[in-house]
Amino acid sequence: KILIALILGYTFDKNKISSTTYLPSHETITSLMTNLKLDGELSFHNIHHASKDFGNQFRFLPLAVLYPNSVSDISTLVNYIFQMGLTSDVTIAPRGHGHSLEGQAQAHQGVVINMESLAKSQEMRFHIDDNTSPPFVDVSAGELWINILHESLKLGFAPKSWTDYLHLTVGGTLSNAGISGQAFRHGPQINNVHQLQVVTGTGEVVTCTKETNSDLFHGVLGGLGQFGIITRAHISLEPAPEMVKWIKVLYLDFATFTKDQEQLISSNNSFDYVEGFVLINRTGLLNNWRSSIKNKDPVRARRFVSEGKTIFCLEIAKYFKKEDVHTIDQKVENLLSKLNYNEFTLSISEVSYVEFLDRVHVSELKLQEKGLWDVPHPWLNLLVPKSKIHKFADEIFGKILTDSSNGPILIYPVDKSRWNTKTSMVTPNENVFYLVAFLSSAMPSSTGSDSLENILSQNKKILEVCETASLETKQYLPHYNTQEEWKKHFGSQWEVFVGRKYLYDPLAILTPGQRIFQKAV
């Protein structure tokens, strides 16, 4: 208990982007270089990328980056640092694709493990003809979801639950949850894995499932990298669809919009994907409607005035096989007939399953071309209980947020009644809650509404309203500066979380960038 007492009571010093170059500890370097016997490489030079992430707000230079060629490389490094005990303040952060928002995969003066390097040395193993278990793929945790999609499609299968963007690693999303428009049916990605291989904070390699080492299994899922480094995962597969009817419709009334969303996620005979987004004060909204999507009634649609208004877009998808091409339109029409959207705003496109799932990558390429992808991303993701979503919308949309041109605002409900609630993921108390994601991009030299400062201040106001109006929201991809805030975030799960830290990473070596625990030295 003494160690835990040391790592509790922690307040993070809020250093933003820092230009400081640190003098690495020569003793640690010499000791790591001479003592570690690795299949891969420990580099003290190729380290600069590991001090960056998608959020582009925090920058901490590590001492070294491990490019592992085997799981044993990872366990050797962790065990070595563990054996150094309290004499060293070196920490270790696994880095997936580095798409964290606030330095969560960084380790200031520590060692970052490049998990994609591990994936290069490990193969994907498909288990689809096995009569004893449902189909799954056994993959490296450093593998990108997009690669898993392409490989599994070659066999006619695919994972069931996704994120909106697939250029993320398995370990990175499983450490959070992995939520997208399929989660209402299949749960988040952490619900669709049934075996993990984990290197704990002592360097021990442990295989865990719901039945064996189940506490570690549940702990690392949504565990923010605190209890172990996931090195392999068994991911559930299903026979893959080939095509997708991708549909968008608009609503002027929030109550009608949410009623339809909630009805869709409660039915077993529904669409396969349900999301939505908020559009505030968008001029000529429908004129800019995605060019690949054809409006049913373009003349009336063009008259749709969006200036000064808050409009809600329901985004839904129905998957199908090519052999169902003659019946799919009727099926979609039947499902749509139960909804109450503004009829003339219906937009339907037909795309391949890969095009649909990899849709955000298309936007990424466009933004990269314009130099707008590597800008600061002060994102705020909230989980809002169903009973509070109307109050939330009243207080935020059109009041705190008067336009949505800094980036998409996603909003869609999920129902956790069928989820595995033993994981470390924190959700509101109600079964149905909304994911509301403010996905802002800040313009580096701007002083206007799209400046980093302005967006951060808007985020702060949103969080303050949630607090003062007792909306009982929880942050997703959480970010806090003090342990008190973390304690509040975890609520009744805090004690279990701390207990697991004590068991699996007693020196608090792992994943310091989450700023939950500080290494005891």
Query: Is residue 177 a contact point for ligand FAD (CB under 6 A)?
Result: yes
Q: Is 164 a catalytic residue?
A: yes
Q: Which stretch binds ligand FAD (CB under 6 A): 19-27, 57-65, 168-176, 335-343?
A: 168-176
Tokens 């835990």 locate to 4
Among 104, 200, 261, 347, the residue binding ligand FAD under the rule CB under 6 A is 104
Q: Is 45 a catalytic residue?
A: no
Query: Is residue 208 a contact point for ligand FAD (CB under 6 A)?
Result: no
- In terms of C-beta density within 10 A (0-12 exposed, 13-18 middle, 19 or more buried), how is residue 410 classed? buried
Of 76 and 173, the one with the shorter C-beta distance to ligand FAD is 173
Query: Is residue 122 a contact point for ligand FAD (CB under 6 A)?
Result: no
Of 97 and 501, the one with the shorter C-beta distance to ligand FAD is 97
Structure tokens at 140: 């490296």
Helices (DSSP H) in 247-318: which residue ranges? Answer: 254-266, 298-302
Of 169 and 236, the one with the shorter C-beta distance to ligand FAD is 169
Q: Is 167 a catalytic residue?
A: no
**How would you list the strands of the sheet with 41-43, edge to edge?**
41-43, 64-67, 111-114, 92-95
Of 1 and 370, the one with the shorter C-beta distance to ligand FAD is 370
In 3D space, the residue among 516, 435, 408, 519 whose CA is nearest the CA of residue 102 turns out to be 516
Q: Which of residues 329-368 bind ligand FAD (CB under 6 A)?
A: 360
Looking at 99, 108, 377, 479, which residue is catalytic?
A: 99
Query: Is residue 375 a contact point for ligand FAD (CB under 6 A)?
Result: no
Do 112 and 65 contact (CB within 8 A), yes or no? yes
Q: Which stretch binds ligand FAD (CB under 6 A): 12-20, 68-76, 97-105, 317-325?
A: 97-105
Among 178, 276, 408, 428, the residue binding ligand FAD under the rule CB under 6 A is 178
Quote the CA–CA distance of 510 and 503 in Å, as a whole number.
13
User: What does the H/E/C string look like for 366-429?
Assistant: HHHHCCCCCCCCCCEEEEEEHHHHHHHHHHHECCCECCCCCCCEEEEEEEHHHCCCCCCCCCCC
Q: Which stretch binds ligand FAD (CB under 6 A): 4-12, 157-165, 289-297, 314-322?
A: 157-165
User: How far from chain centre, in Å, is Cα 426?
Assistant: 13
Looking at 275, 395, 415, 505, which residue is catalytic?
A: 275
Among 56, 88, 180, 191, the residue binding ligand FAD under the rule CB under 6 A is 180
Angstrom distances, CA of residue 416 to CA of 104, 320, 354: 26, 26, 27
User: What does the H/E/C string look like for 99-155?
Assistant: CCCCCCCCCCCCEEEEHHHHHHCCCCEEECCCCCCCCEEEEECCCEHHHHHHHHHCC
Do 116 and 169 contact (CB within 8 A), yes or no? yes
Q: Which of residues 214-233 bind ligand FAD (CB under 6 A)?
A: 224-225, 229-230
Query: Is residue 51 a contact point for ligand FAD (CB under 6 A)?
Result: no
Do 430 and 413 contact (CB within 8 A), yes or no? no
Query: Is residue 165 a contact point for ligand FAD (CB under 6 A)?
Result: yes
Of 200 and 345, the one with the shorter C-beta distance to ligand FAD is 200
Of 230 and 498, the one with the shorter C-beta distance to ligand FAD is 230
Among 52, 59, 95, 232, the residue binding ligand FAD under the rule CB under 6 A is 95
Q: How near is the Cβ of 79 to ligand FAD at its closest, in Å?
A: 16
Query: Is residue 441 a contact point for ligand FAD (CB under 6 A)?
Result: no
Q: Which of residues 230-249 bind ligand FAD (CB under 6 A)?
A: 230
Query: Is residue 169 a contact point for ligand FAD (CB under 6 A)?
Result: yes
Structure tokens at 67: 């490019």
Contacts with ligand FAD, 457-496, as mask; x by CB under 6 A: --------------------x-------------------
DSSP 240: P
DSSP letter for each residue of 172-216: HHHTT----TTHHHH--GGGSEEEEEEEETTS-EEEE-SSSSHHH
Query: Is residue 159 a contact point for ligand FAD (CB under 6 A)?
Result: no
DSSP letter for each residue of 414-467: EEGGGS-TTSS----SSSEEEEEEE-----TT--STTSHHHHHHHHHHHHHHHH
Query: Is residue 100 a contact point for ligand FAD (CB under 6 A)?
Result: yes
Q: How near is the Cβ of 511 to ligand FAD at its closest, in Å?
A: 4
Q: Which residues bind ligand FAD (CB under 6 A)?
A: 53-54, 93-100, 104-105, 115, 141, 163-165, 168-169, 171-173, 175-180, 224-225, 229-230, 360, 477, 511, 513-514
* Catalytic residue positions, numbered: 99, 164, 275
